[in-house]
């Protein structure tokens, strides 16, 4: 099965489209207007998954300067990506894994999508 990235929150989807250029396979997000209060109120609740278009999947890869968070049980680590494809924690290097989630990029909040069919 192929992995597909998606959001379940229309507001996060719209934010990622406006600030990071993420494209979606669902047209309603591209037509939305952040300044129009009615657009946000009237987003259809039937949309349960808003799929990221294939050409935008690379946006969610780790980049130098990203701030990431990793949480496992009672342990939480926050680190800044110093090199492409790795996060530095304390004096050592933490290798990339699906546990790291990007939370900031270019001093802006960053929302990671959920992954369908992840194993």
| Predicted pLDDT of residue 40 | 58
Could you give the C-alpha distances from 70 to 36, 80, 115, in angstroms and in order? 35, 11, 16
Strand partners, 93: 88
Host H or E run for residue 29:
helix 27-31
| 3-state secondary structure (DSSP) of residue 46 | coil
- What are 33-48's pLDDT values in tens digits? 556 666 556 655 555 7
- Exposure string of 51-70, with b = 16+ CB inside 10 Å and e = fewer, is bbeeebeebbebeeebebbb
Render each residue's pLDDT in the chain as its tens digit; 119 residues: 567 899 988 899 999 999 999 999 865 444 455 566 665 566 555 557 889 999 999 999 888 888 888 777 777 777 777 654 455 444 444 444 456 788 999 999 999 999 887 55
Query: What residue spans define the domains of the chain?
Result: 4-60, 67-112
Query: What is the spatial distance between Cα 70 and Cα 101, in angstroms, rounded to a whole number?
Result: 6
């Amino acid at each position: 099965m192929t992995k597909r990235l998606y959001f379940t929150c229309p507001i996060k989807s719209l934010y990622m489209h406006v600030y990071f250029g993420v494209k979606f396979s669902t047209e309603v997000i591209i037509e939305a207007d952040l300044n129009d209060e009615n657009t946000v109120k009237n987003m259809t609740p039937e949309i349960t998954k808003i799929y990221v278009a294939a050409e935008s999947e690379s946006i969610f890869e780790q980049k130098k300067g990203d701030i990431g968070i990793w949480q496992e049980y009672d342990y939480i680590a926050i680190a800044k990506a110093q090199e492409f494809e790795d996060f530095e924690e304390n004096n050592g290097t933490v290798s990339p894994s699906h546990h790291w989630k990007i939370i900031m990029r270019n001093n802006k909040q960053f929302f990671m999508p959920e992954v369908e069919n992840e194993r």
